[in-house]
Amino acid sequence: MKVRILVSYKDSVLDPQGQTVKNALHTLGYNFIEDVRQGKIFELDLKELSPEEVEKVIPEISDKVLANPIIEKFSWQIIDKSQTREGREKIST
Amino acid sequence: MKVRILVSYKDSVLDPQGQTVKNALHTLGYNFIEDVRQGKIFELDLKELSPEEVEKVIPEISDKVLANPIIEKFSWQIIDKSQTREGREKIST
C-alpha cells in the first residue's frame, strides 16, 4: 500500500524558494507564471493497513514528523502501485 | 489556472533524505512503514493557457528548471482553485 503526503507552507506564510523559482522562470521568458509555491512530497510504502488505521496514522505521522503544523499544511492520498489514485484525499489546514 | 508538478528521484536513485525519515518513523514505533521516498512539489499559478500550450510548456519548464532529468522524474496535473483535480496527469520517467 502506498500513501502520498503533500506538505506545503500555509497560504499566509511567505515562500522564498517559490519566489526564487518564479523569478528564474520569468528570466527565462515564462512570464505567464503568476506565482510559484514549493513544497515536499513523501511517498510511504506501508504494510497493508485497514482504511481506519490509515485515516488515523497518516495524519498523526504528518503532524508529528513530516510537517510543522504552525507554518505548514498537508494533504494525503492513497495511491496504488501503478501510480493511479484511489480517490481518497484529505486536506488539513 | 493552477498546475501541480511533482518531482522525485528516479526509482534507481538512492534517496538518503527518505531513508532518514523512515529511520525516524521506525524510532517512533511506526514499524509498518517499509519505505519512504521524498520529493518536491511546485504549485504554479498561470494565466489562462490553452490545454495544448499547457501540455507543451509544463514538461519544458519541468525538464529545464524544476527537475534534473538525469536523476529525477516528474509528473504533473492541472488542479483548480478548490484543490480538486481535473484528471489530467502525465508521468515522465
Query: Is the Cβ pair A61, B34 closer than 8 Å?
Result: no
Q: Does A62 touch chain B (CB under 8 A)?
A: no
Q: Nine-digit cell at A46? A: 506501508
Q: Does A90 touch chain B (CB under 8 A)?
A: no
CA atoms within 13 A on the CB side of B58: 31
Q: What is the pLDDT of residue B86?
A: 40
- Separation CA B17–CA B14 (nearest Å): 9
Cβ-Cβ contacts under 8 Å for B65 (sequence gap 6 or more):
A21, A24, A25, A28
CATH number for the domain whose boundaries are A2-92: 3.30.1280.10
H or E element at residue A30: none
Cβ-Cβ contacts under 8 Å for B21 (sequence gap 6 or more):
A42, A65, A66, B36, B38
- The reply to whether the predicted model has a pTM over 0.95 is no
Which residues in B lie closer than 8 A to residue A6 (C-beta atoms)? 41
Q: Nine-digit cell at A85? A: 489514485
| Domain extent listing, chain A | 2-92
Q: Does B8 touch chain A (CB under 8 A)?
A: yes
CA atoms within 13 A on the CB side of A27: 8
What are B3-52's pLDDT values in tens digits? Answer: 999 999 999 999 999 999 999 999 999 999 999 999 999 999 998 888 88
Candidates B34, B64, B91; nearest CB to A46: B34
Which residues in A lie closer than 8 A to residue B57 (C-beta atoms)? 30
Q: Does B30 touch chain A (CB under 8 A)?
A: yes
Candidates B25, B36, B44; nearest CB to A33: B44
What are A3-43's pLDDT values in tens digits? Answer: 999 999 999 999 999 999 999 999 999 999 999 999 999 99
Give burial (CB, 10 Å; 0-12/13-18/19+) of A74: buried
Q: Is the interface score ipTM higher than 0.95?
A: no
Q: Does B52 touch chain A (CB under 8 A)?
A: no
Query: Is the Cβ pair B36, A47 closer than 8 Å?
Result: no
Q: Strand pairing partners for A18? A: none
Q: What is the pLDDT of residue A59?
A: 94
